[in-house]
Structure 1
Amino acid sequence: MRILTQNIYNLFKRETSQKYIPELDGLRFLAILWVVLLHIQVLYQIQINPTISDHGFEKLLWYIINNGHMGVPLFFAISGFILGLPFAKHHLVGVKKVSLRKYFWKRITRLEPPYIIALSSIFLIKVVLNKSVFLELLPNLGASLLYLHNFIYHSASKITPIAWSLEIEIQFYVVAPIIALIYRLGLKRRRFIFLLAIFIIPFLRNFIDISFFSFFRYVHYFLVGMLLCDLYVTKSQISINKGLALVLGLILLFSLLLSDSYGFWAKVIYPFLIFMFYYIVLNTQFWQNVFRIKWISIIGGMCYSIYLLHYVLISVIIKRTSLFSFSTDYTINILVQILILLPIILIVCSIYYLLIEKPCMNINWPKNFKKYILKHIYILLRPNKVK
């Protein structure tokens, strides 16, 4: 059994050119689960419009799930950490300089194929189901594939509404090497700049806002990850005993889940809650062990595939499952929907991950694919001379 578990883990474990940090995939699991639960609840409510109690466990469950949009900033902070890591290592501990050509090529070969295939497939499915939407959706597909839908339409993509956050991620990928120049500064100066920016940007948004989703709205979350990266690379750790780490981690986790994310002060405080919780996960043995649990890190490692496909899967399936009322109690009904939908999402997205996303993690896949195509073209053209 242990051998089988290890083989499954090796099959799904993400490939990375840097040292693998499994607790980061564990944090991705937390973020993607929260987002998926939100969309299950929202789409279920659209179908049913149920009555929800104003008190008790039902209201608490609804409130936590309804805050699931805050799972996206959790992703942004992780992206800040991951993309900042090679630059921080270079500037802070003297590791080899980052090649920008390789940096951008890796982003393109790693992220573009799964994104293009997913959006194109969803577009084709919608056209097959309703041929009249072809001309309506085609411009949306083009704008989404170019990561310009927020800019052009000032609204969520009609192909899949979750694409808005991926456009912001791409904007960060472009400017990350420039922001990373902060790592060249002295310790006190660069950390002061990070902290000041994380604190002041929510205030600036009150005076300078943009009518569409943009990198500016969320840059402070990426900076949280880059500051964490600074502390991680320089091994700036605070010793916390197991009991305190457990209690503090739980307080921070529930604070993240329960924060009133729409309030102004919540927007100021929330990045610092993420910072403190992520710091504890990265630097205390107890929380490292929790987020390194193999099935958690495996699912978290597939978050990109899950993120790309989950919304369309839920929207199609829940039209059928929502027809069945299992109880007059909303809590029971939503939990049943979750138990039905999560396994289906996991199975479909696991297949997509293994067939499409994981092969793209190998930076040499374009070269290998080119050799494969040329070889078979040669065989077709000169079959008698190939053994």
Structure 2
Amino acid sequence: MTPSIFRASLAWFAHLSLRRIITSNRFIPEVDGFRFLAIIIVIISHIFVQCVSLVPTGFFSGLFVGAFLDGRHGVYLFFTISGFILALPFARHHLEGSKPIALGSYFKRRITRLEPPYVLAMLLRAPALLFLKKAAVVSVGIHLLASLFYVHNAIFAEYSTINPPAWSLEVEIQFYLLTPLLTSIFRIRSPALRRSVIVIVMIVSAVCSMAFIGRTGRMSLTLLNYFQYFAAGFLLCDLYLSKVHLSLPPLIWDAIGLLALGWILVSSNPLYPILLPFATICLYMAGFFGRFVRGFFSVPAVSIIGGMCYSIYLTHTAVLSVITLLLDHIPMASWPQAVQMTFIFTLCFSTILAIGTLFFVLIERPCMNPAWPQQLSAWLFRRSHKTPATS
């Protein structure tokens, strides 16, 4: 590499920023910290799923597996974050009198912000299925088309064969479409009545999910099965805007948050789907009003990684598939279990973070700029009308 190219590369990297681009001045670092926790739970779970034959067993690893094996726990945390974030501008309008939300801008923002990374990730996964797993072209094409239009869950009643974690993104899309209507709940002026309605909806949704839907079947992959978690985000939004923290000292909130997190990870209570949304609210309230819990979620490294969670979520299973093929050729049977665990998780986490960061910087973060379609159109127009230089 010549010195000039090296200097140009350093200059390019110096201008990189890993912080999310936001469209308002109301950045809440704790929320990205919440995202960090959720994506970590998902990643650990998928490491166990995809590297199951390589992860050693034993008391410690068994206890660890018990806490993190079900990656849906992290997805549920994401659902509550989505409920909070999407409700926030509508709630501010109804409760604080801020400007109304233009529905055209709301949907356009979702399309320009979320679709390009999602579509590209799906298109990159399809060839891998064709060449590595020898899947049929027609089958891959059908499943790809269904996934691109967020109807794979509804048509096939199973996770996307192109990118399995996309099942939750299809549920999120259903919620996005209904959010402008659902946030009418914030028109209720009485805080006590409004919160009571939300709590009742959370409980009824959870009970109906347990009684009539369950964890399998087509309906299990729809918003109806998970609405209690999004509704929890509505209640959290209400409490956050009202600055309601029950006058508890920050250290008490820290204790509540840590207890809630422990319960979320290890509880086997039969009422788990009913109680989990409330435990999640307790955890996130500690993130807003505690001292140490809030401090952790606000740490720049934590919130930055959390801010990249969408890119990491879209790419991490593909990365794990490659790592699994690599690990199959590394003789680790004679290694101590602690060394095996450390090696596997270090390799998985570092690679997932590296690829997720690259995808974020090159693809997702540019799409966070609301003006990127116009800027791209203008650039293409200039290129097409550029006068060739005369010799």
Fold shared per TM-score above 0.5: yes
Q: How does 1:50-65 map to 2 (within 5 A)?
A: 52-53=57-58, 56-65=59-68
**Partner deviation per Cα, 1:200-257 (whole Å, 9 max, x = no partner):** 2121124432822000001110011111111111222323324323322221111111
Separation in 1, partners of 2:84, 2:98:
17
Structure 1 residue matching 2:213: 3-state secondary structure: coil
Q: Output the amino acid matched with 2:360.
A: Y
Which residue does 1:222 correspond to in 2? 230
Extract unaligned runs of 5+ from structure 1: none
Q: Residues 85 and 229 of structure 1 are in contact (CA less than 8 Å); yes or no, is this contact kept in structure 2? A: yes
Q: How does 1:87-166 map to 2 (within 5 A)?
A: 87-129=90-132, 133-166=136-169
Structure 2 residue matching 1:67: 3-state secondary structure: coil
Q: Residues 122 and 312 of structure 1 are in contact (CA less than 8 Å); yes or no, is this contact kept in structure 2? A: yes
Note closer, same or farther for the CA distance 1:288–1:130 as it changes in structure 2 (3 Å cut). closer
Identity of aligned residues (%): 35
Separation in 1, partners of 2:262, 2:334:
29
Separation in 2, partners of 1:140, 1:222:
27
Which residue does 1:366 correspond to in 2? 373
Separation in 2, partners of 1:252, 1:114:
33
Note closer, same or farther for the CA distance 1:9–1:311 as it changes in structure 2 (3 Å cut). farther
Which residue does 2:266 correspond to in 1? 258
Which residue does 2:171 correspond to in 1? 168
Note closer, same or farther for the CA distance 1:330–1:193 as it changes in structure 2 (3 Å cut). farther
**Partner deviation per Cα, 1:266-289 (whole Å, 9 max, x = no partner):** 111111100111111112233221
Q: Output the amino acid matched with 1:356.
A: I
Which residue does 2:363 correspond to in 1? 356
Which residue does 1:311 correspond to in 2? 317
Q: Residues 42 and 71 of structure 2 are in contact (CA less than 8 Å); yes or no, is this contact kept in structure 1? A: yes
Q: Output the amino acid matched with 1:69.
A: R
Structure 2 residue matching 1:164: 3-state secondary structure: helix
The farther-off stretch of 196-205 and 350-359 is 196-205
Q: Residues 256 and 270 of structure 1 are in contact (CA less than 8 Å); yes or no, is this contact kept in structure 2? A: yes
Separation in 2, partners of 1:267, 1:293:
30
Residue 332 of structure 1: how far off its partner (Å): 4.2
Q: Residues 29 and 299 of structure 1 are in contact (CA less than 8 Å); yes or no, is this contact kept in structure 2? A: yes
RMSD: 2.1
Which residue of the other structure, out of 351, 367, 383, is the alignment partner of 1:376? 383
Separation in 1, partners of 2:310, 2:135:
30
Q: Residues 87 and 183 of structure 2 are in contact (CA less than 8 Å); yes or no, is this contact kept in structure 1? A: yes
Separation in 2, partners of 1:37, 1:122:
21
Please say if 1:280 is aligned against 2:286: yes
Which residue of the other structure, out of 16, 23, 32, is the alignment partner of 2:22? 16
Q: Residues 93 and 100 of structure 2 are in contact (CA less than 8 Å); yes or no, is this contact kept in structure 1? A: yes
Separation in 1, partners of 2:166, 2:299:
29
Separation in 1, partners of 2:266, 2:187:
37
Which residue does 2:202 correspond to in 1? 198
What number of residue pairs does the alignment pair up?
A: 372
Q: Residues 117 and 363 of structure 2 are in contact (CA less than 8 Å); yes or no, is this contact kept in structure 1? A: yes
Note closer, same or farther for the CA distance 1:27–1:124 as it changes in structure 2 (3 Å cut). same
Residue 328 of structure 1: how far off its partner (Å): 6.2
Note closer, same or farther for the CA distance 1:10–1:192 as it changes in structure 2 (3 Å cut). farther
Which residue of the other structure, out of 72, 83, 86, is the alignment partner of 2:75? 72
The farther-off stretch of 89-98 and 234-243 is 234-243
Which residue of the other structure, out of 6, 28, 37, is the alignment partner of 2:44? 37
**Partner deviation per Cα, 1:111-165 (whole Å, 9 max, x = no partner):** 0000000000111233243565322211000000000000000011111111100
Residue 264 of structure 1: how far off its partner (Å): 3.6
Structure 1 residue matching 2:164: 3-state secondary structure: coil
Residue 383 of structure 1: how far off its partner (Å): 2.6
Q: Residues 92 and 183 of structure 1 are in contact (CA less than 8 Å); yes or no, is this contact kept in structure 2? A: yes
Separation in 2, partners of 1:330, 1:8:
40
Q: Residues 253 and 285 of structure 2 are in contact (CA less than 8 Å); yes or no, is this contact kept in structure 1? A: no
Question: What's the TM-score once normalised by structure 2's chain length?
Answer: 0.90
Structure 2 residue matching 1:383: 3-state secondary structure: coil
The farther-off stretch of 156-165 and 125-134 is 125-134
Please say if 1:246 is aligned against 2:249: no
Which residue does 2:6 correspond to in 1? none
Q: Residues 162 and 308 of structure 1 are in contact (CA less than 8 Å); yes or no, is this contact kept in structure 2? A: yes
Which residue does 1:184 correspond to in 2? 187
Q: Output the amino acid matched with 1:98.
A: I
Separation in 2, partners of 1:332, 1:41:
16
The farther-off stretch of 205-214 and 131-140 is 205-214
Question: What's the TM-score once normalised by structure 1's chain length?
Answer: 0.91
Note closer, same or farther for the CA distance 1:312–1:154 as it changes in structure 2 (3 Å cut). same
Q: Residues 322 and 337 of structure 1 are in contact (CA less than 8 Å); yes or no, is this contact kept in structure 2? A: no
Separation in 2, partners of 1:132, 1:272:
43
Separation in 2, partners of 1:203, 1:111:
32
Which residue does 2:302 correspond to in 1? 296
The farther-off stretch of 247-256 and 27-36 is 247-256
Deviation above 4 Å: which 4+ runs of structure 1?
7-10, 326-332
